[in-house]
């Protein structure tokens, strides 16, 4: 599949049309969706409409946008007006969002052609897309394996060449981990860089929307479109979208990169080897590699699995059968709430709601949630100290390549450990990118992770570009 940047260029210059790009995408979706279970909803009519509007703008000689005619997939936790939006949950089956998420408005304004909504772990709680109420998504590189999660559908859409770009959301690694498992570039932006308005909340202080792409430049292009202040999100950073594409070739010469032991220890040997090779590549490009230890990172998993469920337990209270979504009737309203939630939520969501409710409840708050918030402070301080020594950090994205279905479903703790390298960034609110670098078992892709301080996206993308070139991709 051609890169998004190429498609937008060709559409704007009249070499191709948005309608034909849309048709190509639709054909791929039709051909592969049954096998991989990627899209929960395909908006054929809407996509055709959008494509024709772009073509009309081109015909009128108007600029059609940075994503002119580029087919794009939305994770199903992003609201799009009139489109079924389920967050992978039975409790929202049939719900049509009555408004657009800010990112949806922005991609449409930039000329993107939204093809539909992709499968995900229910309410983004999972690392394999196996907790979706609508069945698991298969990894297009090996259908016996998971695509990662929770943005597994979005990653699979791009990996299966259904769309060149997709939007995902990352609360504890949900963009970077599936990107790694599907051989893609995935970026978790600085908290507040991208508006959360219209993103169905999992954990509000951690959630960020970000791009999934086949290459670094496309990820930069999509992020530039969706980033920048939004008055509808109180946690949105005040500044406009940063300039990213223009800095892609900045390289890493003179940069100091910290190779962090805690960000690859315990990973499979082939993953550790890839991380070391990535360090070599960065050094070859002029960076100085500094070996670092940041012990606080080891506490991230515990803090995360208290903070995120605590916020989720509150964010998911509204699914009570009163105003929208599923209702299971009962005699009184409390019993109706309970019956609805019991039927509407899957096991993983219930597990996390329970965990979060417990962590916040009287008598346990201080020991669990309160303590986790203090660990979060320590995590932020630890990152700050690290960034006094180096510009960026390097580690693995995941402990292993894509795993088989069911491998971790019976043991939640094992599944939670999939996120051990990605979580610290979310807790600190910083930025990080996963970029494919070599392959491992069964020739499956390995992702390495670059981490930077808040607002370091341009640097991260430039460094990722260095690794992309070193990995033999143009």
Site residues (CB under 8 A) for another protein, limited to 282-341: 298-299, 301-303, 305-306, 310-311, 313-314, 317-318, 320-327, 329-339, 341
Binding mask 386-425 for another protein (x = CB under 8 A): --------------------------xx--x---------
Contact (CB, 8 A) for 139 and 230: no
Contact (CB, 8 A) for 401 and 442: yes
**In terms of CB distance, is 58 or 103 closer to another protein?**
103
Angle (CA) 232-236-238 rounded to 5° is 105
Residue 320 Cβ vs another protein, minimum distance, rounded to whole Å? 6
415-425 burial string, b = 16+ CB within 10 Å, else e? bbbbbbbbbbb
Which residue among 89, 150, 169, 418 is the active-site one?
150
Known catalytic membership, residue 150: yes
Residue 195 Cβ vs another protein, minimum distance, rounded to whole Å? 9
117 belongs to the binding site for another protein (CB under 8 A): no
Q: Residue 325 and residue 131: Cα distance in Å, rounded?
A: 19
With contacts defined by CB under 8 A, name the span among 27-35, 153-161, 174-182, 355-363 that binds another protein.
Answer: 355-363
354 belongs to the binding site for another protein (CB under 8 A): yes
With contacts defined by CB under 8 A, name the span among 56-64, 89-97, 114-122, 253-261 that binds another protein.
Answer: 89-97
Helix 4-13 × helix 18-36 angle, to 10°: 150
45 belongs to the binding site for another protein (CB under 8 A): no
**In terms of CB distance, is 97 or 141 closer to another protein?**
97
84 belongs to the binding site for another protein (CB under 8 A): no
Q: Residue 415 and residue 396: Cα distance in Å, rounded?
A: 17
Residue 393 Cβ vs another protein, minimum distance, rounded to whole Å? 17
226 belongs to the binding site for another protein (CB under 8 A): no
Residue 234 Cβ vs another protein, minimum distance, rounded to whole Å? 4
Residue 237 Cβ vs another protein, minimum distance, rounded to whole Å? 7
**In terms of CB distance, is 1 or 380 closer to another protein?**
380
Q: Residue 287 and residue 450: Cα distance in Å, rounded?
A: 13
40 belongs to the binding site for another protein (CB under 8 A): no
Residue 473 Cβ vs another protein, minimum distance, rounded to whole Å? 32
The CA-to-CA distance between both ends of the chain, in Å, stands at 14
Which residue among 151, 174, 195, 400 is the active-site one?
174
Helix 216-226 × helix 457-470 angle, to 10°: 160
**In terms of CB distance, is 330 or 470 closer to another protein?**
330
350 belongs to the binding site for another protein (CB under 8 A): yes
With contacts defined by CB under 8 A, name the span among 138-146, 232-240, 389-397, 465-473 that binds another protein.
Answer: 232-240
Which residues make beta-bridge pairs with 375? none
With contacts defined by CB under 8 A, name the span among 10-18, 125-133, 272-280, 369-377 that binds another protein.
Answer: 369-377
**In terms of CB distance, is 5 or 117 closer to another protein?**
117
DSSP string covering 375-427, please? HHHHHHHHHHHHHHH-SEEEEESSSSSPPBTTTTTT-HHHHHGGGTTTHHHHH
Q: Residue 193 and residue 228: Cα distance in Å, rounded?
A: 6
Positive or negative, the Cα torsion across 91, 92, 94, 98?
A: positive
Number of chain positions touching another protein (CB under 8 A): 97
Site for another protein in 425-444 (CB under 8 A): 427-430
Contact (CB, 8 A) for 76 and 40: yes
Token reading at 49: 């409409």
Contact (CB, 8 A) for 212 and 179: yes
Which of 376-380's residues contact partners 24+ apart within 8 Å by CB, and which partners?
A: 376/303, 376/307, 376/427, 376/428, 378/296, 378/299, 379/296, 379/297, 379/299, 379/300, 379/303, 379/424, 379/427, 379/428, 380/427, 380/428, 380/429
Residue 83 Cβ vs another protein, minimum distance, rounded to whole Å? 13
Site for another protein in 150-209 (CB under 8 A): 191-192, 196-201, 203-205
Q: Residue 472 and residue 470: Cα distance in Å, rounded?
A: 5
Among 14, 63, 135, 231, binds another protein (CB under 8 A): 231
H or E stretch covering 272: helix 269-284
**In terms of CB distance, is 27 or 335 closer to another protein?**
335
Residue 148 Cβ vs another protein, minimum distance, rounded to whole Å? 21
- Which are the catalytic amino acids? 75, 150, 174
């Amino acid at each position: 599949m051609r890169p998004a940047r190429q498609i937008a260029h060709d559409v704007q210059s009249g070499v191709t049309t948005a309608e034909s790009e849309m048709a190509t995408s639709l054909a791929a979706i039709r051909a592969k969706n049954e096998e991989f279970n990627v899209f929960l909803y395909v908006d054929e009519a809407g996509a055709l409409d959008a494509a024709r509007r772009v073509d009309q703008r081109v015909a009128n000689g108007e600029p059609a946008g940075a994503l002119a005619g580029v087919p794009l997939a939305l994770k199903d936790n992003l609201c799009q007006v009139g489109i079924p939006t389920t967050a992978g949950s039975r409790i929202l089956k049939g719900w049509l969002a009555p408004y657009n998420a800010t990112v949806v408005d922005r991609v449409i304004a930039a000329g993107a052609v939204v093809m539909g909504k992709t499968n995900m772990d229910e309410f983004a709680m999972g690392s394999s897309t196996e907790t979706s109420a609508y069945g698991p998504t298969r990894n297009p590189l090996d259908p016996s394996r998971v695509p990662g999660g929770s943005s597994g559908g979005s990653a699979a859409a791009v990996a299966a060449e259904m769309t060149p770009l997709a939007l995902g959301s990352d609360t504890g690694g949900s963009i970077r981990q599936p990107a790694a498992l599907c051989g893609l570039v995935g970026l978790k932006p600085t908290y507040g860089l991208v508006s959360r308005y219209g993103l169905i909340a999992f954990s509000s202080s951690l959630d960020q929307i970000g791009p999934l792409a086949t290459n670094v430049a496309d990820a930069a292009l999509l992020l530039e479109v969706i980033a920048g202040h939004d008055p509808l999100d109180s946690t949105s950073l005040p500044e406009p979208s940063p300039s990213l594409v223009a800095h892609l070739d900045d390289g890493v010469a003179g940069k100091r990169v910290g190779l962090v032991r805690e960000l690859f220890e315990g990973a499979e040997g082939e993953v550790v080897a890839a991380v070391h090779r990535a360090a070599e590549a960065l050094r070859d490009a002029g960076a100085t590699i500094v070996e670092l230890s940041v012990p606080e990172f080891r506490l991230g998993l515990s803090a995360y699995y208290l903070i995120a469920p605590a916020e989720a337990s509150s964010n998911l209270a509204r699914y009570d059968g009163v105003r929208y979504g599923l209702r299971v009737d009962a005699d009184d309203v409390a019993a109706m709430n309970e019956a609805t939630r019991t039927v509407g939520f899957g096991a993983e969501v219930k597990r996390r709601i329970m965990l979060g409710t417990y962590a916040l409840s009287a008598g346990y708050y201080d020991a669990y949630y309160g303590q986790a918030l203090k660990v979060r402070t320590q995590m932020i301080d630890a990152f700050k100290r690290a960034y006094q020594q180096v510009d960026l950090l390097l580690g693995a994205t995941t402990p292993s390549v894509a795993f088989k279905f069911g491998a971790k479903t019976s043991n939640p703790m094992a599944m939670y450990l999939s996120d051990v390298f990605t979580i610290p960034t979310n807790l600190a609110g910083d930025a990080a990118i996963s970029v494919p670098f070599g392959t491992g078992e069964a020739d499956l892709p390995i992702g390495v992770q670059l981490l930077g301080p808040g607002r370091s996206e341009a640097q991260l993308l430039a460094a990722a570009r260095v690794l992309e070139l070193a990995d033999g991709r143009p």
